[in-house]
Amino acid sequence: MGLELIFWLVICFPFNVAFLASAFYQVLVLSDLEADFVNPYDASSRINYFIVPEFIGQGLLCALCLFTGHWIMFLLTVPVTCYHAMLYMRRQHLIDVTEVFRVLNAEKKFRIAKLAYYLTIIIITVFRLVLMGVYYLDSEDE
């Protein structure tokens, strides 16, 4: 039972917080670009800096959920992981500096959808973390 608690506390929770923070930062940078507070090169480089680590982390989290037998979490993370893999294979994962204003609204909507997805995943993770903590403390009392 202790390994479940460690899995949710040490692996899932920090990964999901990082994904949520990354998605929020990307939406913030795109909003700054839309309001003309930052130039297109800086906005693209700031967002592109986080994309590949996010893809790797999402794939790693999905694989860990598969190998540890957390089927529901695996099924929730597999669509985004497959979408990230598809974007990477087509080489459409980075934001192009020259076309950033043309795709600004679509990218912003995509990032907001990812933010909502990661918020949902982190709520599920916190619920599972609390549930495992209660089960672990309850089993220690007996």
Average pLDDT over residues 117-121: 95
Write down the pTM of the prediction: 0.89
Higher pLDDT, 127 or 139: 127
Number of domains in the chain: 1
HEC sequence for the chain? CHHHHHHHHHHHHHHHHHHHHHHHHHHHHHHHHHCCCCCHHHHHHHHHHHHHHHHHHHHHHHHHHHHHCCHHHHHHHHHHHHHHHHHHHCCCCCCCCCCCCCCHHHHHHHHHHHHHHHHHHHHHHHHHHHHHHHHHHHHHHC
2 pLDDT band (50/70/90 cuts)? Answer: confident
Per-residue pLDDT of 5-38, as tens digits, reads 788 888 899 999 999 999 999 999 999 999 989 9
1 pLDDT band (50/70/90 cuts)? Answer: low
Q: What mean pLDDT, rounded, does the chain reach?
A: 92
Range of the domain at 64: 2-141
